[in-house]
Amino acid sequence: MRQARDPRRGLWLAAALCIWLLALAASQRIPPMQSPDEPSHVARAYLLCRGEGLLHTPPGESSGGAVDRALDELVQPYLRLARESSLRLRADESQALAALRWSGKEAFVPIPSTGYLLPFIYVPQAAGLCLGRALELPVQASYGLARALTLTVSLLWLLAAVRLHNPGPLTLLLLCLPMSLFQWLSPTVDGLSHAMTVWLASAFVRLYSGDAKGSAALRLAWVAVIAVLAGSRTHLLPAFLLPLALCLRRRDALLAFATLAALAAVLAWYAWVATHLVDQRIVRSAGLPQIIGHYAARPAELLAVVYATLGDAQTRLFYGQSFIGILGWLDTMLPLWAYPALGSMLAATAVLSALRGTVGAAAPWLLAAAAASVPLVFAALLVGWSEFPATRIDGVQGRYFIAPALLAAAALAAPRRPEVQPRTWRRAAGTAAGAVALAGAALGAYIFWVTLTLRYH
């Protein structure tokens, strides 16, 4: 007998389609190149489009690659828009930029800030640029295609995550913060990496808590996603704790081999980058290997630098505000009341989610990976961006902590099929967590839209 189709499936698909269409429409409200380092990310995607996965370094230059001159012509006016909040492009300027065609002539562009990212994270952006160029679309239309494709792939990752395990209300609120929404709608790597983080956390809960191992394809794909994320976001290296934990639980030889091979590959990638990437934006007296060795041999000096950084109240305030949302190139603040409002809703959702119940045995591993990721944010910016020897750590932004927060949020997501019926007060906490998260998501989207409109329109 044919099994009856679940009527809720159609509703979920309709909701997903509406979200996708709304997101595509909202992305059109953001002019190109308004996300931090977006021109460098787009240029890196272009290099991948032309078959170059690695940067190269001409004598006396920072690492980079050859990019179509028309792409740079598109970048420069929008960079001025990003740097001058009062600037608006005239109608004739916008029309000229929209009509700009690929020139076929390339020039070297230094983009060292993207050099430490594995090229695989740029596949959706590169596919959009390649398709646009193959169809002989204008440069800006090709850029729009790259943005739409990146957003679509990110949403598909989220849908796949929900099918494996419900990531919970705190995840919903984190993804709807104005900072998250702004990055989701830009063709950089934040939105995509956040969606992949949610997926890997959901897959871990499914594999760790389920009775079966899961298919070999799922386990290998899971490790591959962790490798891509850890090879593109240094602070997500602790995500390798998750497959190692699963190996201990399942005694899975295939997974153990895949995990160790992936970890070795990622570490080899970072070792290669540390010795080959040239970034002349910062003049320092030592290279990355020497800086790492310096702080490893002097833990007291390292602790003093961390204390000087975190001991500053304005720095801590900036971390909190840029976690919730400072849009543009860190120059567009939300209304000041939005920060305590959304911060309180995040805290309330986290507490209520914890009262609601966790994912059981999987939760400690997710929390450990999240906690270990936080100091790596500071370590990466200390050795890669701060002066040497440093008196404080420069370059840390609140948005770098969203991915660790998503791992922690997955730990606070109640299991899909609880073995025992939860008590009444736990069910009430779960209902309240969902209500607060939905209200916070709606508020975050509203604040994001208002701030976006005032900044660019």
Q: Is 121 a member of any domain?
A: yes
Q: Which residues of the chain have pLDDT under 70?
A: 1-9, 211-214, 416-422
Q: Is 143 a member of any domain?
A: yes
- pLDDT for position 419: 52
The number of CA neighbours under 13 Å toward the Cβ of 37 is 13
pLDDT digits (tens, 9 = 90+) for 47-82: 998 889 999 999 989 999 999 999 999 999 999 998
Type of residue at 374? V
- pLDDT for position 173: 97
As for how many domains the chain has, the answer is: 1
pTM: 0.93
Q: What is the number of other CB atoms lying within 10 angstroms of the CB of residue 5?
A: 8
Q: Is 445 a member of any domain?
A: no
Q: Is 19 a member of any domain?
A: no
- pLDDT for position 1: 43
Q: Strands 106-110 and 326-327, how do they pair?
A: unpaired
Rg (CA), the chain: 22
The Cα 366–Cα 294 span in angstroms is 31
- pLDDT for position 12: 72
- pLDDT for position 7: 61
- pLDDT for position 211: 56
Q: Is 103 a member of any domain?
A: yes
Tokens linked to 273: 């980058």
Q: Is 150 a member of any domain?
A: yes
Residues 6 or more apart whose CB falls under 8 angstroms from that of 76 comprise none
Encode burial over 296-319: b for 16+ CB neighbours within 10 A, e otherwise.
eeeeeebeebbeebeeeeebeebb
Let me know if 243 is exposed, middle or buried by CB neighbors in 10 A (0-12, 13-18, 19+).
buried
- pLDDT for position 212: 57
Type of residue at 437? A
**Which residue range is the domain that position 77 belongs to?**
32-164
- pLDDT for position 332: 93
Cβ 262 vs Cβ 224: under 8 Å: yes
Residues 6 or more apart whose CB falls under 8 angstroms from that of 72 comprise 107, 109
